[in-house]
Chain A
Amino acid sequence: MPYESIIVEAEPPVGIIRLNRPKAMNALSFGVLREIVDALEAFDKDDRIKVSILTGNDDAFSAGADIKELSEATPVDLILRNQFALWDRLKKTAKPIIGAVSGYALGGGCELAMCCDMIVASETARFGQPEINIGIMPGAGGTQRLTRTLGKFRAMEIILTGQPITAREAEKHGLVNRVVPVEAYFGEAKKLALQLAQKGPLAVRMAKEAVLKAFDTPLEEGLQFERRNFFLLFSSEDMREGMKAFIEKRPPNFKGR
């Protein structure tokens, strides 16, 4: 499938999606987002791919929504365009997504980064929700995901002042997994991806699902969900192979079944 605003590379077992609108600081137009979601869904269906990496360039992961595209929009346009349906599809990606973030991750770009399952950031990364500066507010999960990750008070400050935070601050508050020099962030994300790719794909998928469940269920329900996924994995070939390999002191050969 030809993509216009992203570059998609399959380097099995890793699938790489690179935002490619450098002149627009990788602004998230409607088209870019659709392409990202299409590419992630294609990787979900591709058996060779175990993990996706979502990245931009050194200067910008994504500097936010395409303001030009939004400035003329009426509520009716927004309803008809149904952009948020794309964000809902993004949330349903089954395989893990690693965000490799450098430079600006602002507004929709920050929200996109927060849709990833892990984030490797460069030292030059900046995370923020500057929507308030142009008279709107985050609309693709910013108020919810930032608050669940950073807590009310820090999230409130970032969202109400519009002031971005540095990669180091983000690391301190648990918004990113690790911060490395700008020359190394993509390599580090790839290392992490390859590490995940060695695990049993079914187990990874169900564990991811269970972790995400923690965001919108009470503990008791989440524990039940976890238990169900745990039991389910005991019916997999990978479970038998994993345990056998452990006992035989050899690396497992997972089939994803």
Chain B
Amino acid sequence: MSKTGYETITVEKKESVGKITLNRPSALNAINDAMGDELNSALKEADKDEKTRCLVITGAGRAFCAGEDVSSLKERYSSGSHPSLGDHLRKKYHPMIMRIRSMEKPVIARLNGIAAGSGASLAFACDIRIASEEAGLRQAFIGVGLVPDSGSSWFLTRFLGPGKALELIMTGETIKANDAESLGLVNKVVPAAELDKTVEELAHRLASGPTKALGLSKRIVNRVSNLDLADALEYEAIHQDIAGQTRDHLEAVRAFLEKRQAKFSGN
């Protein structure tokens, strides 16, 4: 099933896997204002749609996403005036990043090619990153005299620690997929030809999982990095109470006792 009405992205749904493809290949899927709006609205739809139990985000053509499309700010720049970037981020990127992090279902970044600047942030915000060997990650901000945004500094510091994060931010060098994997920035790298199969398998596996428990796990992981151990233990316990009340938990235990495969409904 493919939804229309979007011009800069395509949205598909296959069984319970949703897929959003950034679709401006000639601009390396750079995010212009229209794409920002469409992405925000498609993410909201995927979040609200209970039948979407896993979401894949990817790019069309050879790039994943080149980040902010500065051409929309071209006029401003050529007249020599400074843009107001903070508000632009707050309006366009913050809702996007927060939506991906807070939607209580798995979100996979299918990294088909380069992810630069806020395009890398978009990938970092996802729960799991699967990359093709052709992919790369780049902190492109410093190259244009800017600082990391859309969560890049936050994600990199948590993934890598401040030392390595600053190296990537300050040099602006492209990290190739294989190096990104050894750093822990992507979960898995596969040859380009196997990317589809790998992502599809994972997406369908997650989509047929206990969605409520997957979502709650994400909620816990998002929160515990700000907590001390005692509070984290309590936060886990209160969520285990909730997970324990789900139909899927009952089904999983019964299936185990009856020595059969569990069939999860998502709640």
Interface residues of A (CB under 8 A from B): 180-181, 183-184
Compute how far the CA of A181 lies from the CA of B241 in the bound complex, rounded to whole angstroms.
11
Q: In whole angstroms, what is the CA distance A100 to B143 when docked?
A: 50
User: How far, in angstroms, from A181 to B219 measured CA to CA in the complex?
Assistant: 10
Q: Which residues of B are in contact with A by a Cβ distance under 8 Å?
A: 216, 219, 238-239, 241-242, 245
What are the residues of chain A within 8 A of B219 when measuring CB–CB?
Answer: 181
B interface, over-half SS:
helix
Q: How many angstroms from the CA of A112 to the CA of B238 in the assembled complex?
A: 27
Instruction: Give min CB distance, B34 to chain A, whole Å.
Output: 29
B239 contacts across to A, CB distance below 8 A? 181
Q: How many Å from the CB of B259 to the closest CB on chain A?
A: 31
Q: How far is A183 from B242 in the complex, measured between Cα atoms in Å?
A: 7
B-chain residues with CB within 8 Å of residue A181 when the two chains form the complex: 216, 219, 238-239, 242
| Contact residues in A for B216 (Cβ distance below 8 Å) | 181
Q: A181-B238, A181-B242, A183-B245 are in contact. List 4 more A-B contacts (CB 8 A).
A: A181-B216, A181-B219, A181-B239, A184-B242
Residue of A nearest to B219 (CB): A181
Q: In the complex, A181→B216 CA distance in Å?
A: 10
Of A180, A181, A184, chain B has the most CB atoms within 10 Å of the CB of A181
For B241, the chain A residues whose CB sits under 8 A away are 184
A183 to B219, CA, bound (A): 12
Bound CA–CA A184/B234 (angstroms)? 13
Task: Looking at the assembled complex, report how far the CB atom of B21 sits from the nearest CB atom of chain A, in whole angstroms.
Answer: 31
In the complex, A184 Cα to B242 Cα: how many Å?
Answer: 7
Give the distance in Å from the alpha carbon of A183 to the alpha carbon of B238 in the complex. 10
B78 CB, nearest partner CB in chain A, Å = 36
11 pairs, A vs B, C-beta closer than 8 Å: A180-B238, A181-B216, A181-B219, A181-B238, A181-B239, A181-B242, A183-B242, A183-B245, A184-B238, A184-B241, A184-B242
A170 to chain B, nearest CB (A): 17
